[in-house]
Amino acid sequence: MKNDARQKIKKVIAGKTREFFDRKADSAPKILYVNLGAECNQNCNFCLIKGNEHKFPLMDIREAKRVIRDFLGAGGEDIMFTGGEPTLRRDLPEIVDYTEKQKNLNTISIITNAVRMADKYYAGKIFEADKKHKLGFSVSLHSDDQRISEKITASKGTFKKTVEGMQNIVKNGRRMSVYHAITNENFRHLPRFCAFLKKDFPEIRSITLAYPFPQGNALLNKWIYVPFSSLKPSLIEALSFLDENGYDTNIAACGQFPLCVIPGFEEKVLQSLAFGEERISGVVGQDVFHEFEWGSKAAVDFYKNKHSNCRKCILSNYCQGFWKEYIELFDFDGLKPVTVVSFMGNKFKVRLRSTSDVEDAASRLAEGKLNAIILSDYEDEYLKDLIRLLKEKNALATIIKSKNL
């Protein structure tokens, strides 16, 4: 069934230039990013589209409707409008209205800086088109400080408008998440930013954090990158705050961290990669289709690298390493192999000599977290049973044989 769905989705991207790395053959993605055009009213210094605008010219509304209709008709469920800045389009309300009339639709999301959503007339048109209340917003906001925010977005006068736009979204009862890019300008204030969200926007319960992906403006502005040795304390403090306050915290698939940088929160990266591989088709524009790629070995080999010491890390099989551009700037600063002793997640020692031993190991797993299972003694058949059980439970675990310690 999954392969059949993948075949149907090919109709969506017929005639477009394809940019992709091979992905799992059994995936049947339900989410499609539709790039409506690269035009934007900000010039973020980390933007990966800037410099690549030619790949995403303005999408003709007829083509947008065809892509949406064909994707949902092929078994897709969720549409994400991106850019550039989608709200610069006057016809976005019409596109939202059309999307909501399609069968099989689950949700619509607009990825936006929310500047134009401060215009109550325009925002009202968007809300009016969302008759079934399937619409949500992912708002890019990178500081609670106007000066820092507008240095990152390189757009004066936009901070207050973004905040006003967010307030309009909240007042109109639409779901909203926040996308926060971490740069050398804002990383010290990351915990403060999280506290700001809790205080000023208690309705927001989801946040995505991202380290800049080396493309577009991010390649021109290398000063934005922050070494992990400096970032780690603020990042861990922020993740702890969000976890303690019940936020749905995500690490962007294109802006992730090596696992040794986020001890105790490794699942934020692993779950993001798994979700994207299984659920996200890719980004489609007027002329181009860019496959979701971050779970692909070919993509990892192309973009990333590891230190020879990474082979000693107990999480090496899970971790993708990090951007080659980061390594050129900072070498392997802040990256350190994780050992059984330094691993901060749930870890326990077991023997696997019976079915009851397997069941005991499974009962000790921390749900939704990365576990370290240390084998003191085992037989191959029971180890296979444990691995099979982990897959059935979608449990995250690294298995360490005592002789390898």
> pLDDT tens for residues 181-200?
999 999 999 999 999 999 99
Domain stop point among 239, 271, 303: 303
Among 228, 279, 328, smallest CA distance to 79 is for 279
Tokens of 264: 């105790």
pLDDT surpassing 80 at residue 97:
yes
98 falls within a domain: yes
How much is the pTM?
Answer: 0.93
Same domain assignment for residues 269 and 375: no
- Asked if residue 124 has a cis previous peptide bond (ω within 30° of 0), the answer is no
The Cα–Cα gap between 177 and 293 comes to 23
Range 15-18, long-range pairs (CB < 8 A, 24+ positions): 16/284, 16/285, 16/287, 16/288, 16/289, 17/287, 17/288, 17/289, 18/288, 18/289, 18/291
CATH number at residue 130: 3.20.20.70
Same domain assignment for residues 377 and 276: no
The pLDDT value recorded for residue 24 is 55
The Cα–Cα gap between 384 and 388 comes to 6
331 falls within a domain: no
Same domain assignment for residues 368 and 286: no
The Cα–Cα gap between 234 and 247 comes to 17
CA angle 71, 77, 83 (to 5 degrees): 70
The pLDDT value recorded for residue 12 is 82
Same domain assignment for residues 71 and 200: yes
Same domain assignment for residues 115 and 187: yes
Intra-chain end-to-end CA distance of the chain, in Å: 43
| Contacting residues for 400 by C-beta, under 8 A, at least 6 apart | 314, 340, 372, 373, 374, 375
**In this prediction, what percent of the chain has a pLDDT beyond 90?**
81
pLDDT surpassing 60 at residue 405:
no
The pLDDT value recorded for residue 17 is 85
Residue 178: Cβ within 10 Å count:
22
Kindly state the DSSP code that residue 266 receives in the 8-state scheme: T
| Averaged pLDDT for residues 13-27 | 69
150 falls within a domain: yes
Q: Residue 1: pLDDT band by 50, 70, 90 thresholds?
A: very low
Q: Where are the beta strands (DSSP E) in 89-184?
A: 107-112, 135-140, 175-181
| Averaged pLDDT for residues 378-391 | 95
Q: Residue 254: pLDDT band by 50, 70, 90 thresholds?
A: confident
Same domain assignment for residues 298 and 363: no
Q: Range of 390's domain? A: 346-404
Cβ-contact 246, 294 below 8 angstroms? no
**Cα distances (angstroms) measured from residue 95 to each of 100, 161, 386:** 9, 24, 49
Encode pLDDT of 195-252 as tens digits. 999 999 999 999 999 999 999 999 999 999 999 999 999 999 999 999 999 999 999 9
The Cα–Cα gap between 227 and 187 comes to 10
Encode pLDDT of 282-335 as tens digits. 899 999 998 887 777 888 889 999 999 999 999 999 999 999 999 999 999 999
The pLDDT value recorded for residue 247 is 98
pLDDT surpassing 70 at residue 21:
no
SS3 state of residue 391: helix
182 falls within a domain: yes
104 falls within a domain: yes
- How many domains does the structure of the chain reveal? 2
pLDDT surpassing 50 at residue 366:
yes
Inter-axis angle of helices 120-129 and 159-171, nearest 10: 40
Kindly state the DSSP code that residue 212 receives in the 8-state scheme: P
Chain-wide mean pLDDT for the chain? 93
Same domain assignment for residues 138 and 205: yes
Same domain assignment for residues 298 and 350: no
Query: How far is CA 108 from its chain centroid?
Result: 17
The pLDDT value recorded for residue 160 is 98
Same domain assignment for residues 120 and 267: yes
Length of the chain: 405
Tokens of 187: 């990383």
Domain stop point among 303, 318, 335: 303
Q: Residue 19: pLDDT band by 50, 70, 90 thresholds?
A: confident
329 falls within a domain: no
Q: Residue 390: pLDDT band by 50, 70, 90 thresholds?
A: very high
Same domain assignment for residues 151 and 294: yes
